[in-house]
Amino acid sequence: MAHGRRSRIESLSNPLVKRMRLLREKRHRRAEGLFLAEGLRIATEAREAGVLPAWLFLGEEGAAHPLARALIDATLAAGGEVIDTTPAILSKLSGKDNPQTVVGIYAEPSATLADLDRNAAPIWLVAERLRDPGNLGTMLRTADAIGAGGLILLDESTDPYGVEAVRASMGAIFTQALVQARWDDFLPWLRSGPGQLVATWLADDTLDYQAVRYEAPTFILIGNESQGMPESYAAAADVRVKMPMMGKADSLNAAVAAAVMAYEVLNQRRR
Amino acid sequence: MAHGRRSRIESLSNPLVKRMRLLREKRHRRAEGLFLAEGLRIATEAREAGVLPAWLFLGEEGAAHPLARALIDATLAAGGEVIDTTPAILSKLSGKDNPQTVVGIYAEPSATLADLDRNAAPIWLVAERLRDPGNLGTMLRTADAIGAGGLILLDESTDPYGVEAVRASMGAIFTQALVQARWDDFLPWLRSGPGQLVATWLADDTLDYQAVRYEAPTFILIGNESQGMPESYAAAADVRVKMPMMGKADSLNAAVAAAVMAYEVLNQRRR
């Protein structure tokens, strides 16, 4: 096994720091194939899922934390670099005034539909043109909670490797499969094997979400936050369902809708 | 009925514009007793709930929208001022580069626990030290969707009248009752009448959230995003419940947890 090294960086003009801070921008993440995750808790979730950073930046407090030892050892054993650094550099990396004292730089996974084992989990989340990174991260977190296999992002969605999405995922970015695909590729892939596609779709003839018996693997399709999904996507689903809406609103937040649906599917499986 | 007036403001240094842009800061909202809501859709939700702005700022596009007519008429009839203005001023008010073309300035409601009719709705949401304005707005939106009476915010929570919370509520800030209270005042109020307090609490002896029969009015208590609620709060609840957690995570996003719980209570009532 390769062994990494431990070093110290204190200069704000250090070339590695300059390069890594650019990872807050999507085009640099894409170019480097790297993303940034803040916080000892998330880094520990990643480690427990077998994912280690290429670079691990530690402030004094982070390095001294009881959980940091295992993270440092595992990072070095995997060939990564552990860098002791200053609060100012951690601020520069994270773009925050009060940064976490642990920042990890990770390789971006690049799974495709062909890499997914749909039978590995009974539930999968599918989101179409998801715009809000907080919603994306929250969906990953929910997917983890319900024992889903992962999240499939359709068409032009927000970047799952942005800092806000990673943070909202609470580490689930490392435990859930994540695939970005176009609808035109997703649908043939879905139909090439078992799988029930369930669209959340508010219309008069849509079934109540509790009136349907879900079949594994269940693919829960959630549409864009403001427009919902195209009618053709809903029409291609095996079933269209809606949650009861008792008030003035005609929709739920996308991450909330995904969770309410997902728990119904899970609850049916628990019975 | 008082009749308001319609005017035009084009100068960025107009005193009213300077004053209203300060409403993005909590201390100015408190001092003025006013808050700002962006978007024709939210302003229309407000109008339908009988709430009209003290000032209604309209860009050209906003003023020309078919829904704007009813909003303008109702605002004037209620004594409010309708102000035709420029994109630059709308940007200044909202703090955004691409502002909505409708911005309403509304009086902050100041309901207290004594104002609530607990029997007016079967479900109420209660959040303790809620930190994230997006979560707060999302909870209001969910509360509206499930036919709740409103949201009770305990202890030091984020300001529900901040722009982000108002936006995430999708208008539910105008349709749901909203009360800010301390736990020490909430608990005696709760016990002075009917009401089942249900705490989401992850512990070994906590009941599965589907194993409990909920009684109306049900008060669903959700704890702080990172720490959960104090043990004493959970102990004071009538029942402690948990959602199944099948993955690595030991909690859900606060707004997601509130929604999953709330739909279970609603679903029991629908059966």
User: What DSSP letter does each residue of A57-118 carry, written as one string?
Assistant: EE-HHHHHSTTHHHHHHHHHHTT-EEEE--HHHHHHHHT-SS--SEEEEEEPP---GGG--G
Residue among B88, B109, B92 nearest B166 (CA): B109
CA angle, residues A129, A130, A131, in degrees to nearest 5:
105
* pLDDT for A110: 87
* pLDDT for A1: 47
| Out of B45, B141, B263, closest to residue A253 by CB | B141
Tell me: pLDDT of B238 over 70: yes
Whether A3 and chain B come into contact, CB under 8 Å, resolves to no
Cβ contacts of B247 on chain A, cutoff 8 Å:
143-148, 172, 175
Whether A177 and chain B come into contact, CB under 8 Å, resolves to no
Nearest CA in chain B to A253: B138
pLDDT digits (tens, 9 = 90+) for B63-80: 999 999 999 999 999 999
Token pair, residue A203, equals: 């219309």
CB atoms within 10 A of CB A2: 8
Number of A to B CB contacts under 8 A, please give it.
112
* pLDDT for A30: 95
CB atoms within 10 A of CB B97: 7
* pLDDT-derived band at B97, boundaries 50, 70, 90: confident
* pLDDT for B205: 85
Give the separation between CA A170 and CA A168, rounded to whole angstroms.
5
* pLDDT for A203: 86
How many alpha carbons lie under 13 Å from residue A204 in its C-beta half-sphere?
0
What are the angstrom distances between the C-alpha of B139 and each of A11, B124, B130, B267? 44, 11, 10, 18
Q: Is A263 left (phi over 0), alpha (psi -120 to 50) or beta?
A: alpha
For chain B, the residue count is 271
Give the separation between CA A20 and CA A22, rounded to whole angstroms.
5
In this structure, the strands spanning B196-200 and B218-222 are: parallel
Give the separation between CA B55 and CA B68, rounded to whole angstroms.
14
CATH class of A113-270: alpha beta
- Contact map slice: A 50-79 vs B, CB within 8 A: none
Residue among B177, B122, B126 nearest B154 (CA): B126
CB A89 within 8 A of CB A57: yes
Residue among B149, B147, B200, B134 nearest B179 (CA): B149
Residue-range domain boundaries for chain A: 6-107, 113-270
Task: Tell me which of B46-55, B214-223, B242-251 is least confident.
Answer: B242-251
Residue among B164, B211, B227 nearest B36 (CA): B164
* pLDDT for B185: 98
Give the separation between CA B106 and CA B32, rounded to whole angstroms.
10
Q: How far apart are the first and last CA of chain A?
A: 46
Interface test with B, best of A248, A269, A270 (most B CBs within 10 A): A248
Question: How many angstroms away from the CA of B254 is the closest CA of chain A?
Answer: 10
| Out of A142, A210, A259, closest to residue B267 by CB | A210
Q: What is the mean pLDDT of residues B39-58?
A: 95
* pLDDT for B26: 95
- Higher-confidence position of B100 and B158: B158
CATH number of A6-107: 3.30.1330.30
Q: Which residue has the tokens 């992002």?
A: A153
What are the angstrom distances between the C-alpha of A255 and each of A132, A136, A203, A233, B165? 10, 7, 20, 19, 16
* pLDDT for B56: 97
Low-confidence ranges of chain A (pLDDT < 70): 1-2
- List, in order, residues 6 or more apart from A25 with CB less than 8 Å away: none
